[in-house]
C-alpha cells in the first residue's frame, strides 16, 4: 500500500516558506464603517467576525484583542495558524482560529453567523472550487446587513504584468531544482527573467512599464514574492466578474475600503467624472472607473442587503464618528497620492484639523467641526479631510470610550508579548491600540524603547543603553546606510539618536493611543 496517494494539503499554494508578518488596516471593521457611511449606507455593529486565510495572523490577533467582537478564522498552513493562536493566547483572547482548509472550516456547524467576513490577499490565489466554497459560506453565514471585505488583483491593471508573472512561474517550475524550495525558485526566476528582459524582447518594447515593474520586484521580500507569484492558482478578476461570483451569496457592492478611491478629484479628470456620472449601473461605473485609473488591486466592501440612509441619518452617523491622529503631527505630509498623481492638501483646512488632533486624543467629527467652524471650515470639508487622512493612514477611526476601556487589558498583554519578541527580531513591526481597534506601525527599536519605558527607564540615554544591552547579548549590530556599525560607541550613538527621535514624536503618539 502506498501513502503517496494522499491529497496535497497545500492545494498548489506555496507552503514551504511562511508568509510575511504584515498587518492590513483594511481588515479593521472600523475602517469599513467610515467607507459605508460615506457612501450613504448603514454600517452594522460588529459582534462576530471572521477572517479567511489570515496568514501569520497579526491582523486577526490584533483585531480580536483590540475590539469587542468575537473573531473566528482559518489558515490552511499549520505553522501560521499556530503563530496566530500564540498571539491570541498571549492577549488572553478567545478567538477561534484553526488550520483547516476552506472546505472543512466552512462546513463546520459550530460557527456563529457573522456580521463581518474578511479576505485579504486570498481570492486571486485560490482555485474556482475554493471560491465556490467561500461564496456558499458567505451565503449561509453572513447576517443580513453584514459586510464582506475582499481584496484581489484586477484588470485592466494586471494586463501587462500577467505575462511577467507567468514567465516567472514557468521559470521557477522548470529550471530551478525543487530541493531548494520556494526561495531558490524565486531567486532562479529573478535571475533568468532579468537576462530575458535585458535582451529587449518585443514584449518589453510593447509594454515599457514591465521593466520598471520587474526592477521593483527584485527589491521585494522573497517570501512575499513566493506567495504573490508562484502559487498554482492565480486569477486577476474584473470587478463585474467578481459581482457575478458573489451574486449567489446575495451581497451587493457597497464601497471601496481604499478610502482615497472615494475622492474623485485626485483620481479622475473632470471629463471622466462627468462620463461616469451619467451611468446608472454601479457595476458599469466601477468597471469603467477601473479602466480610467488602470486599477490592478481592488479592496472592496460588499453588503448583504445594503440599507440606504436618509441625508439626516447619514449626517448624524458621520458626526458621531470618532477619529484619532496615528502619526506624529510633525511627520504629516501635506500631500496625498491619487491616480492622477500627487495633490496638495490645503493648509488653511487641514492645518487646524491636524493641530486639533495633535495630542492623539480621539474626537468626533462633530467636535472637530465645532472647533474649526470659526476658521470658515464646513462640515463637508471636515468629512472629506477625515476620509483623505484616514485613507492616507494619517488618522484612523476610533472606538467609543467604553469599548476602549473593555479591551485595554487585552491589548496591554498583546503588546507586552510583542515587545518581548522584539528583543530577538523585528519580524512583527506593529503594536495594538485599544483606541483604533487596530495596529500601529512600530519598528523594532521603537518597541524596545517602549519596553525600556515600561521597565522604568526614564531618559533616551537609558532607553538606548537598555536596547544596546539586548543587542550586544545576541551579537547583533546596527546597520546604517548599508554599513554595519562595528564599535560599541557607534552603536550606542546611533541608538541614542533614534531614542531622541522616539522621545520627540512616537512616544507621545503611543501614549495618546494607549499603546503604552
253: CATH: 3.40.50.150
The last residue of a domain, from among 271, 288, 303: 303
Q: Check residue 10 and give its pLDDT.
A: 54
Does 225 lie in the same domain as 282? no
pLDDT digits (tens, 9 = 90+) for 68-87: 999 999 999 999 999 999 99
Radius of gyration of the chain (CA): 24
- Of the candidate ranges 218-227, 363-372, 464-473, the one whose mean pLDDT is the lowest: 218-227
Identify the band that residue 320 occupies on the pLDDT scale cut at 50, 70 and 90: very high
Does 58 lie in the same domain as 43? yes
Q: Check residue 192 and give its pLDDT.
A: 84
Does 240 lie in the same domain as 216? no
Q: Check residue 2 and give its pLDDT.
A: 30
* Any domain includes 393: no
H or E element, residue 299: strand 297-303
pLDDT at 506 over 80: yes
| Cβ count within 10 A of residue 423 | 15
The last residue of a domain, from among 172, 196, 229: 229
d(CA 455, CA 157): 49
**Alpha carbon 234 to chain centroid, angstroms:** 20
Mean of pLDDT values over 379-398: 98
pLDDT digits (tens, 9 = 90+) for 249-261: 999 999 999 999 9
pLDDT, mean over the chain:
92
Does 277 lie in the same domain as 258? yes
pLDDT at 3 over 80: no
Mean of pLDDT values over 411-415: 98
Does 298 lie in the same domain as 202? no
Whose cell is 510583542? That residue is: 418
Q: Check residue 6 and give its pLDDT.
A: 43
- Of the candidate ranges 44-58, 213-227, 473-487, the one whose mean pLDDT is the lowest: 213-227
* Any domain includes 211: yes
Q: Check residue 507 and give its pLDDT.
A: 97
Does 179 lie in the same domain as 32? no
Identify the band that residue 179 occupies on the pLDDT scale cut at 50, 70 and 90: low
Residues whose CB is less than 8 angstroms from the CB of residue 57 and which lie 6 or more positions away in sequence, other chains included: 73, 75, 80, 81, 83, 84, 85, 87, 88, 97
First to last CA, the chain: 59
- Higher-scoring residue by pLDDT: 3, 58: 58
Does 75 lie in the same domain as 198? no
The domain tally of the chain equals 2
* Any domain includes 210: yes
* Full-model pTM: 0.91
The last residue of a domain, from among 199, 229, 259: 229
pLDDT at 496 over 90: yes
- Higher-scoring residue by pLDDT: 251, 175: 251
- How far from 449 is each of 75, 418, 425, 459, 499, CA to CA, in Å? 33, 13, 14, 10, 7
Does 222 lie in the same domain as 92? no
Q: Helix axis angle, 347-356 relative to 379-391, nearest 10°?
A: 70
Q: Check residue 180 and give its pLDDT.
A: 61
Cis (ω within 30 of 0) for the bond into 394?
no
pLDDT at 18 over 90: no
Does 243 lie in the same domain as 221? no
* Any domain includes 283: yes
Residues whose CB is less than 8 angstroms from the CB of residue 94 and which lie 6 or more positions away in sequence, other chains included: 70, 88
pLDDT digits (tens, 9 = 90+) for 263-278: 999 999 999 999 999 9
d(CA 397, CA 438): 9
Does 224 lie in the same domain as 143? no
* Any domain includes 240: yes
* Any domain includes 250: yes
pLDDT at 291 over 80: yes
Mean of pLDDT values over 464-488: 93
Does 147 lie in the same domain as 249? yes
Q: Check residue 177 and give its pLDDT.
A: 56
pLDDT at 456 over 50: yes
DSSP conformational letter for 267: T
Identify the band that residue 8 occupies on the pLDDT scale cut at 50, 70 and 90: low
Q: Check residue 216 and give its pLDDT.
A: 87
What percent of the chain has a predicted confidence (pLDDT) above 90? 81
Nearest CA among 384, 403, 330, 338 for reference residue 360: 330
Q: Check residue 9 and give its pLDDT.
A: 44
Domain around 268: 25-156+236-303
* Any domain includes 50: yes
* Any domain includes 507: no
Does 245 lie in the same domain as 151? yes
Amino acid at each position: 500500500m502506498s501513502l503517496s496517494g494522499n491529497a496535497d494539503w497545500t492545494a498548489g499554494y506555496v507552503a514551504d516558506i511562511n508568509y510575511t508578518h504584515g498587518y492590513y488596516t483594511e481588515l479593521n471593521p472600523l475602517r469599513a464603517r467610515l467607507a459605508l457611511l460615506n457612501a450613504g449606507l448603514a454600517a452594522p455593529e460588529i459582534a462576530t467576525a471572521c477572517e479567511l486565510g489570515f496568514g501569520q495572523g497579526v491582523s486577526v490577533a490584533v483585531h480580536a484583542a483590540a475590539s469587542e467582537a468575537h473573531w473566528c478564522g482559518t489558515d490552511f498552513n499549520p505553522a501560521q495558524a499556530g503563530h496566530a493562536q500564540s498571539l491570541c493566547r498571549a492577549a488572553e483572547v478567545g478567538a477561534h482560529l484553526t488550520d483547516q482548509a476552506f472546505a472543512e472550516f466552512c462546513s463546520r456547524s459550530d460557527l456563529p453567523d457573522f456580521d463581518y467576513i474578511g479576505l485579504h490577499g486570498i481570492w486571486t490565489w485560490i482555485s474556482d472550487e475554493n471560491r465556490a466554497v467561500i461564496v456558499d459560506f458567505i451565503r449561509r453565514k453572513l447576517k443580513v446587513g453584514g459586510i464582506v471585505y475582499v481584496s484581489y488583483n484586477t484588470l485592466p491593471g494586471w494586463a501587462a504584468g500577467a505575462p511577467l508573472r507567468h514567465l516567472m512561474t514557468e521559470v521557477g517550475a522548470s529550471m530551478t531544482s525543487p530541493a531548494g524550495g520556494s526561495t531558490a525558485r524565486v531567486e532562479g526566476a529573478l535571475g533568468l527573467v532579468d537576462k530575458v528582459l535585458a535582451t529587449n524582447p518585443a514584449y518589453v518594447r510593447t509594454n515599457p512599464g514591465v521593466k520598471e515593474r520587474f526592477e521593483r520586484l527584485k527589491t521585494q521580500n522573497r517570501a512575499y514574492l513566493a506567495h504573490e507569484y508562484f502559487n498554482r492558482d492565480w486569477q486577476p478578476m474584473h470587478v463585474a466578474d467578481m459581482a457575478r461570483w458573489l451574486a449567489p451569496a446575495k451581497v451587493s457592492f457597497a464601497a471601496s475600503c481604499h478610502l482615497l478611491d472615494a475622492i474623485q478629484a485626485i483620481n479622475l479628470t473632470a471629463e471622466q467624472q462627468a462620463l461616469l456620472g451619467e451611468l446608472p449601473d454601479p457595476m458599469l461605473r466601477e468597471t469603467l472607473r477601473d479602466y480610467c485609473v488602470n486599477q490592478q488591486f481592488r479592496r472592496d466592501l460588499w453588503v448583504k442587503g445594503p440599507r440606504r440612509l436618509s441625508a439626516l441619518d447619514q449626517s448624524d452617523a458621520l458626526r458621531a464618528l470618532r477619529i484619532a491622529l496615528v502619526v506624529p503631527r510633525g511627520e504629516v505630509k501635506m500631500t496625498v497620492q491619487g491616480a492622477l498623481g500627487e495633490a496638495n492638501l490645503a493648509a488653511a483646512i487641514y492645518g487646524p484639523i491636524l493641530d486639533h488632533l495633535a495630542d492623539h486624543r480621539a474626537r468626533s467629527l462633530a467636535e472637530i467641526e465645532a472647533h474649526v467652524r470659526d476658521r470658515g471650515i464646513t462640515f463637508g470639508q471636515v468629512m472629506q479631510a477625515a476620509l483623505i487622512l484616514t485613507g492616507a493612514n494619517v488618522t484612523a477611526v476610533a472606538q467609543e470610550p467604553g469599548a476602549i476601556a473593555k479591551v485595554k487589558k487585552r491589548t496591554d498583554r498583546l503588546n507586552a508579548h510583542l515587545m518581548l519578541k522584539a528583543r530577538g527580531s523585528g519580524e512583527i513591526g506593529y503594536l495594538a491600540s485599544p483606541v483604533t481597534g487596530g495596529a500601529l506601525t512600530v519598528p523594532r527599536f521603537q518597541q524596545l524603547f517602549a519596553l525600556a519605558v515600561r521597565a522604568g527607564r526614564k531618559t533616551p540615554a537609558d532607553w538606548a543603553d537598555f536596547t544596546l544591552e539586548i543587542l550586544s547579548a545576541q551579537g547583533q549590530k546596527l546597520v546604517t546606510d548599508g554599513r554595519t556599525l562595528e564599535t560599541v560607541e557607534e552603536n550606542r550613538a546611533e541608538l541614542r539618536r533614534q531614542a531622541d527621535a522616539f522621545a520627540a514624536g512616537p512616544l507621545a503618539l503611543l501614549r495618546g493611543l494607549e499603546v503604552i
